[in-house]
A and B are shown apart, each in its own frame.
Chain A
Amino acid sequence: MRAYPKGLLTVAVLLLAVVLCGGVMAAENVKVGIVLPLTGAQAKFGEIEKRSFEMAAEEINAAGGIKGSKLELLFEDDTGKPDVGRAATEKLISRDKVTVLTGGYSSAVTQAATAVAQQFKVPFLVTTGSADEITEKGYDYIFRINPTSSEYFDPFETLIQKAGGIKTMALLYENTQFGQSSAKDVEGAAKSAGIQVVVKEGYQAGAIDFKPILSKVKGAKPDIIYMVSYVMDAALLMAQCKELDINPKMFAGGGAGFTLPEFQQKAAAAADLVYSATLWSEDVPYKGAKEYFNKFKKKYNSETEYHGAEAYGSMYVVADALKRAKSFSPNDIRDALAATDMMTAFGPVKFISYGKKTQQNKLPNTFVVQWQKGKMETVWPEAFAKKKYIFPTPAWKDRK
């Protein structure tokens, strides 16, 4: 052991000084803390949500803000990791002294972040994190605008009933929290709908070759192939279904990857006629949905999708609750959030308790879209359909 480096202590003290100097803030604004993945693999969606939050806040501030003061958004990057998300939430609460929290993209990060908010009793409106457990813990400061992952399959149930002839299912899912919990829910739902699950397989996201699992699927001849996959896995799965000439009556995706433009671009012809569940599309019949979509496109010159709408909606819900709250104390804001009943671009928002869940928003409808001739069309529920769904899916060799 050499002499203990004294210079190191100097460096440490200097660093600490820098730390203490940072974060001096102007007062008067209502601070809203937002935890999102701004770097890392999920950054794409973090970015869309961040922009949507900012857009909404600008609109609200332009329209007079909250009781005379303006919304100030403090974003913290969770990098997609629960421990970082937790630290970021703590920083927002104890250093930045935010009034209310929102955001939360991945389920894992959201779980960690909401636990902190609950401990410190700061109201937290969860935007995306969709694992069922998040609103099943009885946390009274946690609200969620996003329906839980178990509800993504709901519209398919009615569609399948209507379409008829579907008796067996192959269920493929990525081994992530979203994938594993969705698969569990879908399997249950399928069983109660009298559909036999003939293949159920998880996979590591990022595989090159799905042919082994798909040849098994081909052998089982399911009527529907339901896939919970992220965008590029989704594209490869479909492309390889085409390569292996697998012809079920229906290809269905459970949210996430199948609704993104990249899916269609990468899978090209193989994407055609694929169904997907979605919580939102610009065609939904809610006031402001189409406007939000167009405004976003114009302002940022890039595409948005349901995550953005959730964020946009969340901002309005938070603003609404702040306006109605008796004071900006956590308790009053909590009560105001609990009394929310409003329409947003994402859909109607009202926090209710059902099953094991508490303070959970329940959308009246989730939707089924289908890729038709390179365009994603809303096809279900019938009342909102822009185009008639095409069923059964013709065999690959019969397509033009």
Chain B
Amino acid sequence: MAYFKVEKLVKYFGGLAAVNGVSFEVQKGEIFGIIGPNGCGKTTTFNMISGVFPPTSGKVIYQGKEIQGMKSHKICHLGVGRTFQVVKPLGRMSVLDNVTAAAFSRVNTIREAREVAEKTIDFCGLAPVADVLAKALPIAGRKRLEITRAMATRPDLLLLDETAAGLNPTELLEAIELIRKIRGNGTTVIIIEHIMHLIMTLSDRIHAINFGQSVAEGTPKEVAANPQVIEAYLGKDYA
């Protein structure tokens, strides 16, 4: 039994298919990359997995359980955490309060939540800005806050949606290090990314999507060599 898989996911908005038959399987403990050109349906796929909206058809199976169509908060409680491509900080709350709010998904008292939050903040390296209001953080901080908050819900499976976009080279290295650390912790990671360097270095396997459909899957090397992928996506960068 696969740890996590999606089967023939389809999503129509009005008459348009944003996702039209995406299927993949993720093994426990791996870092699984999803690539594809802009508007190919990556984020829509994430939104269906995390319950922002239900798929038009298809299945999402997590640890043997069909979770498609469930509400976001329920899926979070099952152990699937996510970050948003367009960051959504809880602006008028401090970093610590942001993470504390997330920690309540696992514990009930404010003391425990604080503890979890502080630990997670340390783990993710946000301790120096713990008391800063989230809206006052620079973009790198906000991206990192997204991850920290998701980690505070103690996910078993973490969905990262372009967490490296807009980062400078140093920040990028830090991000790679953090994601490795998260995986090292036993968390499975699915990652959407545009920055090829990052996804090629990090991913154990990569799944390529184009026009809402799966086109290729394999190790970074295999995918990079796949002619369809090169044509559809990498062509522009690598040709």
Q: Determine direct contact between A and B, CB below 8 Å.
A: no
User: Chain B interface (Cβ within 8 Å of chain A)?
Assistant: none
User: Chain A interface (Cβ within 8 Å of chain B)?
Assistant: none
